[in-house]
Structures are given as structure tokens and as C-alpha cells.
Amino acid sequence: MEAPVADGRFPLVMISHGSGGSNLTHRTLGMYLAQNGFVVGIPEHPFNNRHNNELQYSVQNMIDRPRHLRLAMDEVFSHEKFKNHLDIERVAGIGHSVGGYTVLALAGGIPHTQALVELCQKPASADEPYWFNLLRKNGIKSQPIAVTADCRIKAVVLLAPDVSLFMSAGLCNMFMFRFCCCSPKKIICRSKRRQCCAMVFPNARSSPTESFPMPDIILSSAPFPNPSKLESAMLPEIPPVSTAINSTRS
């Protein structure tokens, strides 16, 4: 944190950890990105982290998480050390598990609990995921999740994402098909990626003149892809820098 920031303006990446994680969970990824020209923010989500996980699988957590990320972004953009070195047109969110939900919702996805309610209404079974019981215990009901989208997010990277809140109201079939048809170590091709975005972000627009452009999506259901093996046309240009930049302020 004491190293000087290199001259120029750099893209910002916000990383959202999964349920029960911490701001250190993805530190290796954050360090790699910082060493390659990105400013990186890795907040720890209150009440859904390794120290205190009392809000896991609750509606309140789904409301709070995108707000945490937005407030963390505000802090980075206003931070005296970084504010003059950020490119507001190049902001991305990376999310693992429920962190994937977090960045999708913040990027303009429309979450709803109906699909989870239907799962909880099924008879309990010994082989069902443990979090089914948590959802029943929390008394989940069918409702939209109130999230304010942030148009600063221009791209999202999803690592084994929790997309259960985007499976309602007719979004399920196309959304899951587009994601599950992809090889774990390949990214979605441009045409399929845009179709996927259209299903998850029905209010998004592809025109650059619109106030909320359709974000790009890269999906991985395996460890974070090796950048050298990704198609070069899909990756943003990264300016060479000599100084690592990293922010874990929350």
C-alpha cells in the first residue's frame, strides 16, 4: 500500500469472494492483476465472511452484497492515492460462487427468488445440498431482490457462479444452456455471450450511446483461466507498468 502508483490511468477490477470467504481468498489473483496493470479492490462482505457468516443464504445478504461492492468502488474512486489513476471506462467485476451473483446483479442482472422458493417446496432428501435447509430456515418467499445496478461495470468474470437468483421468470432455460454448453476452460464466444447477456440483462442495450451498455461476460467453472490460453481478441489491452498496484480497502 505504500508503493507509489505508476503514471497513467489504469482499469479497476473489483473481486467479490464467495459465502464464508474473505478479502484474502483471491489475493493471488489480485496480485497477478495488480502486477499487470490493474488496480484491484477486494472487499470483505460483512456478515457473509469467514469471521461472521450469519447472513449466508438470506435475502438480506443478496440485497447487501452488490451494495458492498458499489460502496467499495466509490471508496477506491475517491481515494486520494488512486482517484487520478483510474480509467472509469474500464471497470470489471470478478465473482466466485455467490460473488458471481454479486457482480451479475451489480452489472444489471435482475435477481428474483422464485426459483429458490420452488426448490425449497420440494420434499427434503438426504442428498440435497445443505443450503436448501438454510433457505427453508430463513423463510424465503417469492420476491424480486432490490439491487441498484452500477453502470461503471463494463465486464464481469464469473468463477463457478451462483446463478440461482437469475433462473426465474423464463430466464432459466436459455441462461443455463448458454453457460453449461461452454467448456470449463473456454470463454463464451462473442455471439453466444451477447445472447446470454440479453437473457440475464433484459434492460441492457448494446449501443454505446445508451446509458447502460451490455457488459461482456467471461465464464469459468474451473480455476481462473490461464491468460496466455485465452483468445487475444477477447482480452483488453494491458499497458505495461513497472509498479504493482493493489487496493484491498473495503
Torsion region of 201: left, alpha or beta (phi above 0 gives left; psi -120 to 50 gives alpha) = beta
Evaluate whether 80 touches 3 at the Cβ level (below 8 Å). no
Residues 6+ positions from 27 with CB-CB distance below 8 Å: 42, 248
Average pLDDT in the chain: 74
Q: Is residue 247 part of a domain?
A: no
Question: Is 239 part of any domain?
Answer: no
Structural domain total, the chain: 1
CA–CA distance, 226 with 30 (Å, rounded to integer): 14
Q: Let me know if residue 229 belongs to a domain.
A: yes
φ, ψ at 227 (rounded to 5°): -55, -30
4 is a domain residue: no
For residue 36, the number of C-alpha atoms closer than 13 Å in the C-beta half-sphere is: 13
DSSP state of 228: G
Is 55 part of any domain?
yes
pLDDT attached to residue 139: 81
Q: Which of 134, 133, 175 is nearest to 158 (CA)?
A: 175
Number of H helices, E strands in the chain: 7, 5
Residue at 117 is within a domain:
yes
Task: Give pLDDT, residue 169.
Answer: 53
Give me the domain span that covers residue 140.
10-234
Please give the radius of gyration of the chain, using alpha carbons only, rounded to the nearest integer.
Answer: 18
* pLDDT tens-place string over residues 54-71: 999 889 999 999 999 999
Angle 50-80-155 (CA atoms, 0-180°, nearest 5)? 60
Domain membership of residue 241 (yes or no) is no
| Residue ranges in the chain modelled with pLDDT below 50 | 170-199, 201-214, 220-250
Give the pLDDT of residue 1: 57
What cell numbers appear for 132 in the block?
A: 436448501
**pLDDT for 78:** 95
Per-residue pLDDT reduced to its tens digit, 134-143 = 888 878 888 9
240 part of a folded domain: no
